[in-house]
Every structure is written in C-alpha cells, then in structure tokens.
Chains A and B, each alone.
Chain A
Amino acid sequence: MISLDINGKSYQVDVAADVPLLWVIRERLKLTGTKFGCGIGMCGSCTVHIDGKAERSCQTPVSEAQGKKITTIEGLPENHPVKKAWVKEEVPQCGYCQPGQIMQASALLAEDPHPSEAKVVLHMNGNLCRCGTYPKIKSAIRLASTGVKK
C-alpha cells in the first residue's frame, strides 16, 4: 500500500512502487486533469506540484511521492490568480496541455512573483503546446504576475 497526500486528501493505493505517479493519479484516483503526453518528461502535460515544486508526474515513481504534499490542477483553487489569468486571456484551444502549463506557471510565481520575461520563458520551455498558445500563456503569466493586461 502506498499512501499519498493529494490536494489535502489522503489516499491509500495498492500499487507497485515503481509505477509513475501520473498513472496513479489519473487512472487509479481518477483525477484526470493531469495529462499524459510523452512519458519521458519532454512535454510537461503531466506537471503537478510536489511540495510546491513543479514536477513531471510521469517521471516520478509513486513511492517517491509518499509523505509529500501533492497538488494537481484540481487542487489549485478556481480563484487562483494563474487560473483567473488563464480565463481572462482565453489561453486554451484544445486545452489538453493547459493543466500542465498552469501547474508549471503557478509554481514559478509562487517562488518568484515577478519573474522577468526571460525567466518565464526559461521556466516554461519544457511545456509543449501543439495548438500554439505560447503567446497567450506568456500574456497570462504576465497578467497573473503584474495584474496588468498587455
């Protein structure tokens, strides 16, 4: 049995220690907002917070997440400034990568509320978006960070 603390709730899951956290969150616990994109940590769709840091859940064996605080897109409040900025800027197109983008961005702003554009790009560069919403993601992060629309 593996014990997990996700979005402030505790879960007991009967799963092998080496199973990626992603699949436990999605397929066992049905918190499906966290997405599978590549399985090799190259796209960022599976990003969650582990003890406040943005991590690729497809690269995290579930056993390593034990005893840590895990936050998924469902656990980020609806009125979180990053979510609000995403709505205001109408970032999503297909929307599939966006939970990962939002988790990645919110971890950055938690650590540095006013990052430079270069820092934003560096921090977000591991998250792919095939629909090409990058310019809007940048605007939304700026909005969440400064409260000012471009």
Chain B
Amino acid sequence: MKDQITRRQFLKMSAGTGLTIAVAASPFGLRLLSAAELQKEGTSFRPSAWLEVRSDNSVIITVSKSEMGQGVYTSLPMIVADELDADWKNVLMQPAPAGDAYRDPVWGSQSTGGSSSIRHMYEPLRLAGAAAREMLLQAASKEWDVSIRECAVSLGTVRHIKTNKMFTYGQLADKASKLSVPQKPVLKKESQFRYIGTALPRLDTGDKVNGLAKFGIDSFAPGMLYAAIARPPAYQADLVSYSKEAAHAVAGVRAVVPIHSGMAICADTLDAAWKGREALKPVWQNGRYPKLSNESLEKEFTGQLDSKGVIARNDGDVKTALDQAARKLDVIYTLPYLSHATMEPMNCTAHVRSDGCDIWAPTQNQTGVLMLAAKLTGLRPEQINVHTTFLGGGFGRRFETDFVEEALLLSLSTGKPVKLIWRREEDMQNDLYRPANVSRIQGGLDANGGATAWSHKIVCPSIFSRVFPAMVKNGIDNAAVEGLENMEYEIPNMNVEYVRMDTPVPVGFWRSVGSSHNAFTVESFVDELAHAADEDPLEFRLSLLKNHPRAKRVLTTAAEKAGWGKPLSKGQARGIAYHLSFGSYVAEVAEVSVDKKTGMVTVHKVTCAVDCGGVVNPAIVKAQMMGGIIMGLSAALKEKIEIAEGGIKSANFADYELLRMSEAPEVDVHIVKSTEKQGGIGEPGVPPIAPAVANAVFTATRARIRRLPMKPETVLAAMKA
C-alpha cells in the first residue's frame, strides 16, 4: 500500500502527470473538479472523493473513510472503478490524509461511523468515476478526430469501434486532464455494472494475512519515547503520593509527566516505561463516588422509572387503551454497560514540532483529531498531518480522541515523538461505554389478542449531550430512543418516554448504538405479547407490519430459510427477531438449547436475512452480518462491565469475557434482493441477535429473559421466576 500523501503533495504530484478528479460538496450540490480547477478554486470547496489515472494505467482511489474491518478499502474503490470502467487489476487505494478535502459530504466532517460510508459516498464516487470516463472518451475521440459516439470504454481502455483502434487510460490521462470536467456525467445503468454487486475479493486481505497491514500500534517515529500512564482506579480519584525518584531510577526513563488522566512515564523503550510505571507506586485517594457500583446504579436507574421524562413519541391515547385492554403486561428490562474491547488497545503516536505535527492514529474521526491537535498545539490545520492507519476494531470507540490527546500532550511536554500504548486494563477501565439502561414496558391486548397499546419508558444516559450537544432536540437524545421512537409495529396507541440519567460512567457510541439495547427490549416484548395472545411469534409480528413490506420480507425470508415451524432436534428451540437500523432491515432466527440444570444457553445456528437496498459487495455484506451477529451474541450471553467502589472493576479478558470459537454458532446469511434505498451494513447485524436468542430461550424453557447478559445464573433465576 502506498504511503500517505498530503493534499498539496497529491496535487503537485498529479499536476500534468495524469487525470485527477475531485468531487466537491458545495451549497449547490456536488461539483466535479480537475486538479487544475481545484487549485484555482482554493479551499472554499470540499472535495470529498478523489481518483487519479496515471500514465502507467494505474488508477489510484483515495478513501476518506477508516478501515476497521467493514471493508471500505475495497467497497469504495469498487464504486469508482465501476463507473470509470477501470481494470480492477490496476486499482490501488490509498487512505486519505485528514483535511477539508476529505470531509464527508453529508456530515461535513471526516469521520467513519453510523454505517454510512457507502450511503454517503456512493453518489460522489460514482460521479467522479463517470466524469473521468467521459473525459477519457472525449480525449480519445479528439485524438482520432471522430465522434464520441463512435468510441467505447472497456476495462481501462477506449476503443474506436469501427477501426478497433485502442488507447489505454494511461495513454489518455494527460490529455484528458486538460479538458474541463463534465458536471453532469451520465451514470451507468444498474445492468451495466461490472463490479458493483459482485463479491470482489478485499484489497486488504493479503497484507492482513501476512502481518504487513500497519495498525496504529505499528507506528514508529525516529527518536520517539514510549509512554505509559498510571491511572486512577476510580472516577475522580486524586493522586495522593507517588515516587518520582523511583520511576526515574529505572534505566531509560526520561520524564515523569502529570497529565489530566494520570501520571505519565516517558522512556526510551516500552519496557522501561512500563517498569517506570510500576516503580512509581502511585497511591490514589478514594474517588468522588466511593459507593458507586452496579447495584447502586441499577437502583438509581430503576428509581428513575418513576420520574417524568420527555415524550419522544405519542400516538393515540395509550393510557385509555391500557385501561381498556382485555389483557395487560407490565415488565421491566435491565441492560448493562458494555465495553468496546477492540482487539487493538487504544494507542497513538504523535510528534509535535514548532512548525508542524504528525499523528499516527487508528481513528474513526480525522476531523476530531485535526481540531484537537490544532487546539493543543496552536498549529494551523494545514501544518498537521494525520496518518490514518488500519484500525484493529473500531465499533465507535475510535470515534473518541482521548488517546490522541494524551499522546499529543506528552509529545508537547517532552519535545519528542511519543508512542503511547494502553494496556488492556487501561482500555477496559477507561472506555466510554455502551450505556446501561432500564425500560418499563406496558402493553395491552384486546379480547381477540390484538395489540392495542404500547407504553415504553426508558431510563438511559445520553451520548449525544457529550458528543454532539446540538443534536439533542427538546431534551431527546436520539441515540437513547432509536428503535423505539421509529418502531414500525402498527399499534394504534403508542408512547415512548425518555428519562435522561447522568452517571459518572462515561458513555459513547457502541456498534449499533441505541439499537443495541432497544431492539432487545422491543423484540422481546413483542414476543411476550405474541405468547400472551397465544399466537405464533412470526405471525403475530407480520400481523402488526401490514404496511411495512421490507420488514415482512426479511422476517419471512429468515423464517423460511431457518425452517420456522419445522421440527428441531430434541431440546432445541427457535426464536425470531427483526430490527430496522441505519436504513437496513435485518431479521434473525436463532436455534438454541438450554441446559436446564445449569442455565447454560448454547446457540447452534443463526439464520439471517438482510435488506440493505442496493448491494456493492455481497461478500462484505455477509461478513458484516456474521460479525455483527457474533459480536451481538458475545454481548447478549457474556458481557457486562463490573462497577464497584466508584470505578470500573472489569479489567481484562479474564473478567470481561468475549465469545470464543466454541460458543460461536453457524451463521447463514441471506441477502434479500432489493431496489430500495441503500442502508448501512456495519451495525445492523447486531441488534436482532440478543432478542432472537432470548425468544428462543423462552420457547425452550418458558422463562422470559429480561436482563442481559444471559449468564447461566440469570437464566436459572428467570426459570425460577
């Protein structure tokens, strides 16, 4: 993979040597620019997609999104290459540096999240590819002095149809670059797609298999120091004493630096930094919340169910409908804080100088990193180079910039490049967690078993009030109520109320965000209603989704492929759930068995149906569904952050266990053919799995799981309830 280059270098390099196309998001829509035009425009536009055709026929596609496993280093180049009709063999990708040029055209910031990369980049990338194709055609027709209509492109070449004369794109690149960029290039028809919709192999597989892919932790800067930070064991705990001398006595330790998050040791080697941290022997005072624990928090959350919240949705008259219901259900669901636990712990390498700054970071948020560095260093954004590496998992954790801030501060303080690597324990205990939350749901059925009322009150911390406060409208954090306020079930009286709960435990985006918990409560409760109405859970759902054909299709597809209603081996049971998130519909059927003595849940197989609209790469879609299901299952069966004495007690994979191979089910994914608007794929596989499993557990045991994770003791307790 090519080294990263700055935008300025890119322009310098490409000027006169080939054809480059940028797409600019302007107030008037998307505009296409050549490199020469871009230089004239200055910086007032925001070109967000780049392609370059070089004279050696290579096509270099710059990807502005971070690769964290979701396949953007392959799927985004596929979109450009298709419209360009490039030869895939000649396609190279390079990660974009951080800069205005690469801001997301929808968000206005350069960042990766919300399962949005393809949705946001599809149009600009197609336009860039199509514009370049038309310019290459035009350049060839000029050379041959024939009409463009007599020429055709194919796999990186332009041909004159009658004479079969041929130019490669590389031969035409220079001449094409002198032409003005067509503003309304004609896009291919779907039937003309060469790559979009095909399972092309990922471009990053070889490097990842051979250990050559460079992650953040693989960054080195000449003369760098290694940093290790001693951190408090509880929130807001002060450092009472420590031995600076003992730390300095460790050979190789260069500096002991107090920073906001603890006491940092900077040393010549990683082992010296870690030994220095040991020698420091910090003593911390009790934190500000000595009684904070899982139990205290749950009591508080549950207590808040009696508080008045803000109304996120109110259809009909839920109170009257509940009063008049023939059958009422009134239940409480409780979900824990979760850690991201990316396999690559947080890390960053930074080098701040008086005239510039380099940052190597596995980040989902280049704009955030750039703005933070500008603020801390006083440098101008164009003096700051953000080198985005591969991300060893992201899941929302790497949208945060806390680890970058520490590396920058330590480089500023020591005047040297600094490489900071968090231990797993630091990573686990200094996360911004998936919020814990408690929901009280009341449902009403009429005498015929029809659902007439749904009242849903959720007590949940707010992510947006910290990350994007402007997006909290009328006191409603959409992240807390997504999946509730837009629930599709056709129930005439529905009320969603949100009680914001602030705790000392910081919260952040965790793969599928609010849907990671709301899908569990909604899809479990709809199952409760189905069983209360004595109806088949699939049929009951379908009867409430008469006007939601996409939801019905994923449900019926998953059910059919899973053999819903057909006999299973003894002791096994199926459960179903569906959820709409990030524009995609996903239904999952889980086949489970429960050891009735121990309460141990085994998931044998998961069948998934996804409708994400038009598909760019079906192999990547399937892989993301499989991965989402297994990560979601890990959370559903095993994960819970332990909190005690005012701090996070879970520390490593010994006490925060992730799903292992022996617990991973067979996963069968079916993509529903769809011409609907594109949806995301990175996150939507996660939400339905927890309720699908819990619903299967109910069928197997008649025990309703209203608390996650489904550890054996939780299942046993539910069986006794």
Contacts and interface: CB of A to CB of B under 8 A. Distances in A.
Interface of A: 15-16, 19, 23, 26-28, 30-40, 42-43, 45, 72-74, 78, 83, 86-87, 90-99, 102, 121-122, 124-138
Given A36-B345, A98-B208, A93 B627 contact: yes
Interface string B192-204: 0000000001101
Contacts of A45: 343
Interface in B247-270: 269-270
B652 A99 contact: no
Contacts of A128: 343, 653, 658, 660
A23 B664 contact: no
B631 interface: yes
Contact of B217 (A35, A40, A127): A35
A125 B660 CA distance: 6
B619 A132 contact: no
B631 A130 contact: yes
Nearest to A100: B343
Nearest to B394: A94
A133 B627 contact: yes
B323 interface: no
Given A27-B270, A121-B661, A95 B630 contact: no
B653 A36 contact: no
Given A87-B205, A87-B206, A132-B631, A38 B424 contact: yes
B390 interface: yes
Q: How large is the interface on B (under 10, 10 to 19, 20 to 34, 35 or more residues)?
A: 35 or more
Contacts of B421: 36
B343 A74 contact: no
Residue among A39, A45, A73 with max Cβ neighbours from chain B (10 Å):
A39
Given A83-B209, A86-B209, A94-B391, A42 B69 contact: no
Contacts of A95: 69, 204, 207-209, 213, 390, 392
Q: State the 5 A-B residue pairs at the shortest beta-carbon distance, nearest first.
A: A33-B211, A132-B630, A96-B392, A95-B208, A93-B69
A63 to B, nearest CB: 13
Nearest to B395: A130
Nearest to B220: A30
Nearest to A118: B662
B511 to A, nearest CB: 10
Contacts of B652: 38-40, 42
Contacts of A43: 343, 653
A66 B342 CA distance: 32
A24 B218 CA distance: 13
Given A97-B392, A130-B658, 11 more contacts: A32-B214, A32-B218, A34-B211, A40-B653, A42-B652, A74-B212, A87-B206, A90-B623, A93-B71, A93-B624, A95-B213
A74 B68 CA distance: 22
Residue among B211, B344, B666 with max Cβ neighbours from chain A (10 Å):
B211
A98 B423 contact: no
A84 B523 CA distance: 41
Contacts of B35: none
A126 to B, nearest CB: 8
A125 B658 CA distance: 11
Given A15-B271, A42-B652, A95-B69, A130 B343 contact: yes
B661 A127 contact: yes
A130 B424 contact: no
A122 B648 CA distance: 31
B70 interface: yes
B513 interface: no
A126 B657 CA distance: 11
Interface string B607-625: 0000000000001000110
A73 B211 contact: yes
Contacts of A131: 69, 343, 393, 627, 631
Contacts of A33: 210-212
Contacts of A30: 220
Contact of B392 (A35, A42, A74, A78): A35
Residue among A35, A42, A93, A137 with max Cβ neighbours from chain B (10 Å):
A93
B628 interface: yes
Contacts, number: 170
Looking at chain B's contact residues, the main secondary structure is loop
Contacts of B220: 30
Contacts of B226: 27
Given A40-B652, A90-B202, A73 B210 contact: yes
A34 to B, nearest CB: 7
Given A132-B631, A137-B661, A40 B424 contact: yes
Nearest to B624: A93
Given A32-B218, A43-B343, A78 B210 contact: yes
Contacts of A34: 211
Contacts of A16: 271
B341 interface: yes
10 contacts: A38-B652, A43-B653, A87-B209, A94-B394, A95-B390, A96-B343, A125-B660, A132-B659, A133-B623, A133-B627
B69 A125 contact: no
Interface in B420-442: 421, 423-424
A117 to B, nearest CB: 10
Nearest to A43: B653
A3 B445 CA distance: 75
B617 to A, nearest CB: 11
A94 B424 contact: no
Contacts of A121: 661-662
A35 B210 CA distance: 12
Nearest to A140: B209
Contact of B664 (A28, A39, A134): A134
B667 interface: yes
B629 interface: yes
Given A130-B341, A132-B627, A98 B209 contact: yes
Contacts of B623: 90, 93, 133, 136
B69 A94 contact: yes
Contact of A135 (B69, B206, B270, B626): B626
Nearest to A22: B270
B209 A124 contact: no
Given A30-B220, A130-B343, A134-B664, A90 B205 contact: yes
B369 to A, nearest CB: 19
Contacts of A137: 661
B721 interface: no
A130 to B, nearest CB: 5
B215 interface: yes
Nearest to B425: A39
A131 B666 CA distance: 15
Given A86-B209, A96-B215, A40 B654 contact: yes
A17 B654 CA distance: 26
Nearest to A134: B664
A130 B342 contact: yes
A32 B629 CA distance: 30
Interface string B208-236: 11111111011010000010000000000
Contacts of A28: 269
Contact of A132 (B71, B269, B628): B628
